[in-house]
């Protein structure tokens, strides 16, 4: 019964947060609205990181790569082909998925800290290419001056912070909802099983590399979609948006939120990004110090949340898990995924 | 028990988020432009943490120095200076600028170290109709109607020194620089002009060598290539840590006797201390040197030295001049200095007296038409300093 | 015929110095990364503050070196002690985090790295400080007809000596035996009655000391500055992972390979320079992971 | 009639250690076969070779008339070889039902169109009765990591059966179980559908005699003897081997 109560309470909190996010643009100032829109886009990348890190058991520092692919594809489409938001979103998600598919051979057999380093390399290589492919990307100075996006054929372009924010919110809510639905299907069940014990999953006759590739491509599509939202929210993109610090902060945000939970990852990533952006505004010169202290404090304040991030990075332990797995780990992830 | 953990952390997360939002909104929401009390809000965005912290600090201090020496007033109005941290680039600069422009509603924005950050802030300027008087990075921009710079265009230092190098160096010159927009522009300014006036590059394919940035900490392999090319001189542009590594390794390399010419940032400010003796004799081109002999500069340097160790840099000077530009523009904008009015007034300033000598804004690029100086690193008392050894071209479009 | 021969020597000649420098650079990366090998291989800790430990050594060198030999010895002692102490502090902070819980360790140590980096810059200023090597090593010497920095040449010898000493310690001493046992089977060492907290403190102190020593000795090569910690952390992570997560010999090979890629590789393929490091790493890791997978008999 | 499974001339070496030296084994459809021998005789290695976890240096494994030597464990499982591990291998964060569903999925033929979640639902239908048969109906919604050791063992058997096996590999299924649980296990295994062939590795001879039709004795990686349980029980060779090997 206790589970039931908690499930409802969590549902209520989620509904409350969503309601708060919907009314936010009429309550807060333009700055907060603009920052929220940008944060939502990054939090959506956090969701894709959680999908790989927590659900599929592949900690990643490379989701900035499909994120960047989506963003730049969106700009190209936006300035040359169509100003319709859903078109740009679809193209961006497609670009993210294609880039993820191209990198599948690199990551599909790797696990743990090896994935972390391979994805780091992929992210850095993509940023390097972006900085040098000036005819498309505008180089390290980035691209600005994209035409305003209209969400759908016949609708007016998004001209205010409120409008851009609401568009972002709708897209993020839709994509997160889709991800949650996906996790309730067979695919989600198999991903969780694979994270628990990949060898066992294989012994049952499942084609694990196929699942991993699928998850990687799906996460790439989500990150790509988030890229198109960044373009809308920020009206400017540059390789700096997709650098190592972004991917590191997203991974840490996801760790704070609980890697195995989509909702937690969304909140964690949003929180980390929002706090960082806010600190750079209000505490000039001391932002890294405070941010670092906050990370350390989080480990102490949120032990339960953080300790769910039980992705072991040592290659040797990527093999079968011990049957005497600690109960805390077992229980915590399960109710989360059904939220 | 374990079943309660997700609920705990989620609730805490939501609460924290709410706190952030509340604090975010609780801050003031005044209208743009001057407030009733006759004061005016100016936003300063500069790298106060991270890789470019030393440049960012100079920019903040240069602006503050102008305020301190002018009763804290610009254009007769008390200045409420709101400082925000640009961080390492656009990813942190854009949200910080959003705060200055949309929450603090500053009447004008100044500072900004990185060209990428300026590019990222430009759409916000267009949206909020606030002018930027930038004091450092200046990217390629389509529309400069609200963007002014007291610094320079990245290709101007090279353009200014090309003739001198052509006249002085007997032989070909090797061009090398960092692989990012700033490096490309700086080097292109030199090579284009140099080749146009008949100079010959020693680079094997006739193209500048670009080193990965900021990843390169070891320049030895490049020095081997320069040695092999038989160059009679080297022209380069680096700043910050890369400048320290480049100069120190150069002095220990097999090409240490090949004359080194550079855009002035190679030996400007704090990096010169770190380079030490390795920097001796390097020639550089810059729009400023603390030993320039004019009344404005003597006052500026004296005021600076009263507050800080060492001499002011071109970064501090540009920010000091940005304050001077705003001082005159706000004064000329009349009784209601709106951002629009300030922007219009900046365009009508004409000649500006400055520690670097008199300069003015170009009407097309909105950056200075100014004189450039040839400097050499020489002993000055106990320390090394950049000493002006000659005037170069006046450049600006 | 003569022309061909001449061209042949000329073709090799420009690469002598980069190849030599690759050794110096690789050995520096090895000494810097060796502490991280202990962290990961022995204590099973993913320490993202490792670069900061190096930076402590680097700033110590900048503050204490005055061009004399005595100051170098002093800087080495202080740098090793300071970075070692920082390692112990880090071990204390890590107490509540479960061993092997890498992502939480990453969160904590990343926080420490951010805050520690800010404190170092606040203490020593945002400008890169000057590092003065002993006067005798300041110049350059002639190697195979080329000038090469004297300090780097000596550094190669010293770093090679450190590497050899590390090898002997790990192979021949009781502590080294424990270390090797821990890499193979951490639970076994726990059974020997050594408390995990003490192992953790010991390992992080040793890692800090090594990083501190690398920071002091390497300051003239990778000098202290705002980005030093990140640079060193990244290079160390790369070589530790390439080296097989816990193997000293593997790490040494990986470090030398990275050193050569960063120097000789850049000299040979300048246009590919920005991609070399990460492309090589991704390729090697992916190929190796595939090899492991086929050994497991994956479908 | 061709055997369901035949392993021919299988040899496995780990470095200088020979685990299996040219072992032959064949099992017919529905046959209940036990593999016994002292520790280190190569029993588990032979299971690994048949299940696909270990690749032999020499020899071939044929299953249902096809050479499966080159296939991995997943492909073999899809062909009908399922295994119960020495330490029960279940997915700890998944509920008992989900565990069985995951195990059933590869062999489920969708009854409805894919977008209606047909495969998962079919698997779900299969899970309920299986859990009931294993006496796990009460804990169907409990994460497997919370189950007792014996329950996990039963769950793993349910998972193996969910995969519609034609050959079940059992690696010391009684290890770590109480006397009571062993009794239930024997009942469960004896009640398996007759069509399923079983290869059992077990130390406890009473279980071997209770569960198997035929027995192979391995020693030092070689076949020492083979026959019915009665023949093996009386074989002096086997008595000797056990006197040397196990207490």
Homologous superfamily (CATH) of B156-286+374-395 is Response regulator (3.40.50.2300)
Say what the pLDDT of residue D84 is: 86
Q: What is the mean pLDDT of residues A81-110?
A: 93
Q: Which of A152-161, B79-88, C138-147, D193-202 has the lowest mean pLDDT?
A: C138-147
pLDDT band at D118 (very low <50, low <70, confident <90, very high): low
Residues 268-297 of C with CB under 8 A from D: 296-297
Give, in words, the CATH class of C2-268. Answer: mainly alpha
Residue from B309, B320, B322, B118 nearest C127 by CA: B309
Percent of chain A at pLDDT above 70? 88
Statement: residue B375 has pLDDT above 90: yes
Statement: residue C10 has pLDDT above 70: no
Percent of chain B at pLDDT above 90? 71
Q: How far is C178 from chain A (nearest CA, A)?
A: 19
Q: What pairs with residue B85 in β-bridges?
A: B46
Statement: residue A2 has pLDDT above 70: no
Residue from A34, A126, A153 nearest A72 by CA: A126
3-state secondary structure of A152: coil
Residue in A145, A161, A278 closest to B24 by CB: A278
Statement: residue A304 has pLDDT above 80: no
Statement: residue B58 has pLDDT above 60: yes
Q: Are residues D145 and A325, on separate chains, in Cβ contact within 8 Å?
A: yes
Query: What is the overall mean pLDDT for chain B?
Result: 88
CA A288, chain centre distance (Å): 22
Residues of C in contact with A256 (CB under 8 A): 107
Say what the pLDDT of residue D115 is: 53
Q: Are residues B51 and C118, on separate chains, in Cβ contact within 8 Å?
A: no
Distance CA(C238)–CA(C102), nearest Å, equals 17
Question: Can you give the length of chain D in residues?
Answer: 247
Residue in A30, A243, A332 closest to B6 by CB: A332
Q: What pairs with residue C263 in β-bridges?
A: none
C109 in Cβ contact with C47 (< 8 Å): yes
- Topology of domain D1-80+165-247 in CATH is Rossmann fold (3.40.50)
More confident residue, D110 or B216: B216
Q: Are residues B120 and A331, on separate chains, in Cβ contact within 8 Å?
A: no
Query: What is the overall mean pLDDT for chain C?
Result: 85
Non-local CB neighbours of C271 within 8 Å, separated by 6+ positions: none
Q: What pairs with residue D200 in β-bridges?
A: D34, D170
Distance CA(B352)–CA(B371), nearest Å, equals 13
Residue D2 is given by DSSP the state -
Q: What is the mean pLDDT of residues C104-124?
A: 93
Q: Are residues B88 and A280, on separate chains, in Cβ contact within 8 Å?
A: no
Distance CA(A66)–CA(A77), nearest Å, equals 16
Residues 9-38 of D with CB under 8 A from C: none
CA B294, chain centre distance (Å): 23
Statement: residue D1 has pLDDT above 80: no
- Cβ–Cβ contact B240 with C under 8 A: yes
Give Rg (Cα) of chain D. 18
Residue ranges of chain B assigned to CATH 3.40.50.2300:
39-152+294-366, 156-286+374-395
pLDDT band at D228 (very low <50, low <70, confident <90, very high): confident
Statement: residue B69 has pLDDT above 90: yes
Say what the pLDDT of residue C174 is: 76
Q: What CA–CA distances, in Å, run from A98 to A101, A103, A136, D32? A: 5, 9, 18, 50
More confident residue, D192 or B188: B188
User: Which of A59-63, A299-303, B319-323, C268-272 is the most confident on average?
Assistant: B319-323
Strands D167-171, D197-201: pairing kind: parallel
Say what the pLDDT of residue C294 is: 58
Give Rg (Cα) of chain B. 23
Sequence ranges of the domains in chain A: 2-337
Q: What is the mean pLDDT of residues C14-18?
A: 81
Q: Are residues C130 and B276, on separate chains, in Cβ contact within 8 Å?
A: yes
Residues of C in contact with B273 (CB under 8 A): 127, 129-130
What is the per-residue pLDDT across D71-91, written as a single tens digit (0 to 9) for each? 888 899 989 998 888 888 899
For residue B214, whether the previous peptide bond is cis, meaning omega lies within 30 degrees of 0, is yes
More confident residue, B367 or C269: B367
pLDDT band at D226 (very low <50, low <70, confident <90, very high): confident
- Scanning chain C, the segments in alpha helix (DSSP H) are 2-12, 16-41, 50-64, 69-93, 102-124, 150-172, 174-184, 186-191, 196-218, 228-242, 248-260, 266-268, 273-296
In chain A, whose CA is at the least distance from the CA of B46?
Answer: A284
What is the per-residue pLDDT across B3-49, written as a single tens digit (0 to 9) for each? 333 444 444 454 555 445 444 444 444 445 555 558 999 999 999 99
Distance CA(A214)–CA(A230), nearest Å, equals 24
Say what the pLDDT of residue C226 is: 87
Non-local CB neighbours of A56 within 8 Å, separated by 6+ positions: A191, A194, A195, A211, A212, A215, A216, A219
Strands D197-201, A143-144: pairing kind: unpaired
Question: What burial class does residue C9 get, using C-beta atoms within 10 Å of its C-beta: 0-12 exposed, 13-18 middle, 19+ buried?
Answer: exposed
Q: How far is B258 from chain A (nearest CA, A)?
A: 30
Non-local CB neighbours of B52 within 8 Å, separated by 6+ positions: B86, B88, B113, B114, B240
Q: What is the mean pLDDT of residues C204-224?
A: 93
In chain C, whose CA is at the least distance from the CA of D70?
Answer: C297
Q: What is the mean pLDDT of residues B302-312?
A: 93
Residues of A in contact with C101 (CB under 8 A): 307, 309-310, 312
What is the per-residue pLDDT across C179-189, written as a single tens digit (0 to 9) for each? 777 666 666 66
Q: Which of C4-18, C270-284, D51-65 has the lowest mean pLDDT?
A: C4-18
Residues of B in contact with C23 (CB under 8 A): none
Q: What is the mean pLDDT of residues A209-226?
A: 94
Say what the pLDDT of residue C257 is: 93
User: Which of B93-97, C240-244, C282-286 is the most confident on average?
Assistant: B93-97
A42 in Cβ contact with A277 (< 8 Å): no
Distance CA(B136)–CA(B148), nearest Å, equals 10
What is the per-residue pLDDT across A120-150, written as a single tens digit (0 to 9) for each? 999 999 999 998 888 888 888 888 888 889 9
B117 in Cβ contact with B86 (< 8 Å): yes
Statement: residue C168 has pLDDT above 50: yes
Task: Locate the DSSP E strands across chain B.
Answer: 39-46, 73-74, 77-85, 108-111, 132-134, 147-149, 173-178, 209-211, 233-236, 260-263, 283-286, 360-361, 368-380, 383-395
Sign of CA dihedral C287, C293, C296, C299: negative
Q: Are residues A296 and C298, on separate chains, in Cβ contact within 8 Å?
A: no
Strands D58-63, C140-143: pairing kind: unpaired
Q: Are residues A299 and C119, on separate chains, in Cβ contact within 8 Å?
A: no
- Topology of domain B39-152+294-366 in CATH is Rossmann fold (3.40.50)
Say what the pLDDT of residue D110 is: 58
Strand order in the sheet with D5-14: D17-27, D5-14, D58-63, D66-67
CATH 1.10.3470 for domain A2-337: yes
Say what the pLDDT of residue C189 is: 63
Say what the pLDDT of residue C299 is: 38
Sequence ranges of the domains in chain D: 1-80+165-247, 92-164
Statement: residue C77 has pLDDT above 90: yes
Q: How far is C189 from chain D (nearest CA, A)?
A: 23
Strands D32-36, D197-201: pairing kind: parallel
Percent of chain B at pLDDT above 70? 91
Residue in C100, C106, C238 closest to A117 by CB: C238
Question: Residue B240: how many CA atoms within 13 Å on its side-chain side?
Answer: 24
Q: Which of A200-204, B149-153, C190-194, C247-251 has the lowest mean pLDDT?
A: C190-194
Residue in B227, B241, B249 closest to C128 by CB: B241
Residue B370 is given by DSSP the state E
Residues 146-165 of C with CB under 8 A from B: 146-152
Statement: residue B397 has pLDDT above 80: no
Residue from C75, C106, C95, C215 nearest C159 by CA: C215
C194 in Cβ contact with C178 (< 8 Å): yes
Say what the pLDDT of residue A72 is: 96
């Amino acid at each position: 019964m206790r589970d039931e109560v908690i499930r409802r309470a969590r549902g209520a909190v989620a509904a409350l947060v969503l309601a708060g996010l919907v009314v936010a643009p009429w309550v807060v100032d333009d700055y907060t609205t603009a920052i929220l829109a940008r944060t939502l886009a990054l939090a959506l990348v956090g969701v894709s990181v959680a999908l790989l890190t927590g659900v599929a058991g592949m900690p990643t520092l490379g989701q900035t790569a499909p994120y960047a692919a989506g963003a730049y594809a969106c700009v190209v489409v936006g300035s040359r082909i169509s100003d319709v938001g859903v078109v740009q979103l679809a193209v961006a998600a497609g670009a993210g998925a294609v880039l993820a598919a191209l990198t599948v051979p690199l990551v599909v057999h790797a696990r743990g800290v090896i994935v972390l380093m391979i994805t780091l390399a992929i992210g850095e290589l993509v940023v390097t290419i972006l900085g040098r492919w000036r005819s498309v990307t505008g180089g390290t100075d980035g691209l600005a001056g994209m035409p305003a996006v209209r969400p759908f054929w016949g609708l007016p372009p998004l001209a205010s912070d409120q409008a851009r924010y609401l568009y972002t919110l709708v897209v993020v809510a839709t994509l997160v909802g889709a991800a949650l639905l996906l996790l309730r299907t067979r695919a989600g069940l198999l991903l969780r099983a694979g994270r628990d014990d990949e060898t066992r999953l294989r012994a049952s006759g499942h084609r694990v590399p196929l699942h991993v590739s699928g998850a990687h491509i799906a996460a790439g599509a989500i990150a790509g979609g988030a890229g198109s939202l960044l373009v809308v929210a920020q009206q400017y993109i540059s390789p700096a948006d997709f650098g190592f610090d972004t991917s590191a902060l997203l991974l840490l945000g996801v760790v704070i939120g609980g890697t195995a939970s989509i909702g937690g990852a969304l909140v964690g990533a949003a929180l980390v990004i929002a706090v960082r952006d806010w600190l750079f505004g209000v505490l000039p010169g001391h932002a890294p110090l405070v941010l670092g202290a906050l990370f350390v404090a989080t480990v102490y304040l949120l032990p339960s949340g953080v300790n769910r991030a039980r992705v072991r990075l040592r290659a040797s332990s990527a093999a079968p898990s011990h049957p005497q797995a600690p109960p805390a780990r077992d229980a915590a992830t399960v109710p989360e995924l059904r939220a | 028990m374990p079943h309660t953990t997700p609920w705990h952390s989620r609730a805490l997360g939501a609460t924290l988020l709410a706190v952030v939002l509340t604090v975010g909104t609780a801050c003031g929401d005044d209208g743009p432009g001057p407030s009733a009390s006759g004061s005016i809000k100016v936003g300063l965005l500069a790298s106060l943490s991270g890789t470019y912290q030393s440049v960012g600090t100079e920019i903040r201090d240069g602006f503050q120095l102008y305020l301190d020496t002018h009763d804290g007033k610009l254009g007769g109005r008390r200045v409420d200076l709101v400082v925000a941290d640009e961080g390492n680039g656009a990813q942190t600069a854009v949200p910080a600028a959003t705060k200055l422009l949309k929450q603090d509603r500053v009447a004008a924005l100044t500072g900004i170290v990185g060209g990428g950050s300026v590019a990222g802030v430009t759409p916000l300027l267009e949206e909020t109709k606030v002018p930027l008087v930038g004091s450092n990075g200046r990217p390629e921009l389509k529309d400069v109607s609200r963007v002014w710079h007291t610094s320079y265009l990245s290709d101007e230092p090279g353009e200014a020194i090309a003739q001198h190098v052509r006249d002085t160096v007997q032989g070909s010159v090797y061009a090398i620089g960092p692989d990012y927009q700033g490096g490309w522009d700086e080097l292109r300014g030199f090579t284009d002009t140099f080749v146009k006036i008949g100079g010959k590059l020693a680079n094997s394919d006739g193209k500048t060598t670009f080193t990965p940035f900021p990843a390169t900490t070891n320049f030895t392999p490049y020095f081997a290539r320069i040695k092999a090319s038989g160059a009679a001189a080297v022209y380069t542009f680096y700043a910050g840590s890369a400048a320290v590594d480049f100069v120190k390794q150069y002095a220990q390399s097999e090409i240490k006797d090949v004359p080194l010419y550079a855009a002035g940032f190679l030996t400007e400010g704090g990096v010169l201390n770190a380079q030490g003796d390795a920097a001796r004799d390097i020639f550089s081109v810059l729009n400023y040197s603390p030993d320039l002999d004019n009344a404005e500069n003597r006052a500026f340097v004296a005021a600076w030295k009263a507050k800080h160790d060492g001499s002011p840099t071109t970064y501090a000077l540009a920010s000091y001049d940005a304050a001077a530009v705003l001082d005159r523009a706000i004064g000329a904008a009349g009784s209601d200095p709106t951002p629009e009015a300030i922007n219009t007034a900046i365009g009508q300033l004409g000649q500006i007296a400055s520690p670097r000598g008199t300069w003015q804004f170009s009407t097309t690029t909105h950056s200075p038409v100014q004189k450039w100086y040839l400097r050499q690193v020489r002993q000055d008392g106990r320390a090394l300093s950049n000493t002006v050894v000659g005037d170069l071209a006046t450049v600006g479009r | 015929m003569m022309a061909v021969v001449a061209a042949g020597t000329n073709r090799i000649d420009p690469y002598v110095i980069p190849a030599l420098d690759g050794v110096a650079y690789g050995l520096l990366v090895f000494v810097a990364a060796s502490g991280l090998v202990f962290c990961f291989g022995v204590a099973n800790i993913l320490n993202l503050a490792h670069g900061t430990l190096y930076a402590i050594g680097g700033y110590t060198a900048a503050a204490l070196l005055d061009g004399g030999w005595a100051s170098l010895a002093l800087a080495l002692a202080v740098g090793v002690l300071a970075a070692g102490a920082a390692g112990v502090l880090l071990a204390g902070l890590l107490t509540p985090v479960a061993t092997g819980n890498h992502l939480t360790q990453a969160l904590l140590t990343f926080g420490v790295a951010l805050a520690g980096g800010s404190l170092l810059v606040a203490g020593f200023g945002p400008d890169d400080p000057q590092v003065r090597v002993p006067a005798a090593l300041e110049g350059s010497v002639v190697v195979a007809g080329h000038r090469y920095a004297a300090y780097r040449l000596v550094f190669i010898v010293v770093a090679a000596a450190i590497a050899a000493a590390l090898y002997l310690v790990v192979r021949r001493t009781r502590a080294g035996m424990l270390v090797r046992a821990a890499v193979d089977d951490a639970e076994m060492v726990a059974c020997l009655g050594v408390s995990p907290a003490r192992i953790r403190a010991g390992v992080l102190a040793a890692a800090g000391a090594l990083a501190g020593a690398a920071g002091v000795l390497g300051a003239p090569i990778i000098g202290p500055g705002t980005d030093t910690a990140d640079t060193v952390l990244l290079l160390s992570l790369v070589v530790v992972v390439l080296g097989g997560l816990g193997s000293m010999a593997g790490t040494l090979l990986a470090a030398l390979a990275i050193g050569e890629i960063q120097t000789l590789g850049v000299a040979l393929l300048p246009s590919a320079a920005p991609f070399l490091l990460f492309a090589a790493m991704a390729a090697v890791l992916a190929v190796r992971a595939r090899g492991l997978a086929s050994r497991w008999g994956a479908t | 009639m061709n055997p369901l499974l035949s392993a021919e001339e299988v040899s496995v070496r780990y470095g200088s250690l020979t685990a299996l030296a040219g072992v032959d084994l064949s099992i017919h459809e529905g046959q209940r076969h036990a593999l016994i021998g002292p520790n280190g005789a190569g029993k588990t290695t032979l299971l690994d070779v048949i299940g696909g976890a270990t690749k032999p240096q020499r020899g071939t494994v044929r299953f249902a008339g096809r050479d499966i030597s080159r296939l991995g464990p997943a492909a073999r499982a899809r062909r009908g070889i399922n295994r119960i591990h020495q330490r029960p291998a279940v997915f700890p964060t998944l509920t008992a039902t989900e565990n069985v569903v995951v195990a059933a999925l590869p062999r489920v033929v969708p009854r409805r169109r894919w977008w209606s979640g047909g495969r998962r639902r079919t698997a779900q239908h299969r899970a309920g009765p299986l859990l009931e048969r294993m006496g796990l109906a009460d804990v169907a919604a409990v994460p497997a990591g919370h189950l007792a050791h014996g329950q996990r063992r039963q769950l793993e058997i349910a998972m193996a059966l969910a995969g519609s096996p034609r050959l079940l590999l059992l690696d010391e299924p009684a290890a770590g179980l109480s006397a009571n649980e062993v009794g239930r296990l024997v009942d469960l295994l004896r009640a398996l559908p007759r069509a399923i062939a079983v290869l059992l590795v077990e130390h406890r001879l009473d279980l071997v005699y209770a569960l198997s039709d035929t027995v192979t004795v391995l020693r030092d990686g070689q076949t020492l003897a083979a026959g019915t349980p009665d023949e093996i029980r009386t074989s002096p060779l086997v008595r000797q081997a056990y006197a040397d090997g196990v207490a």
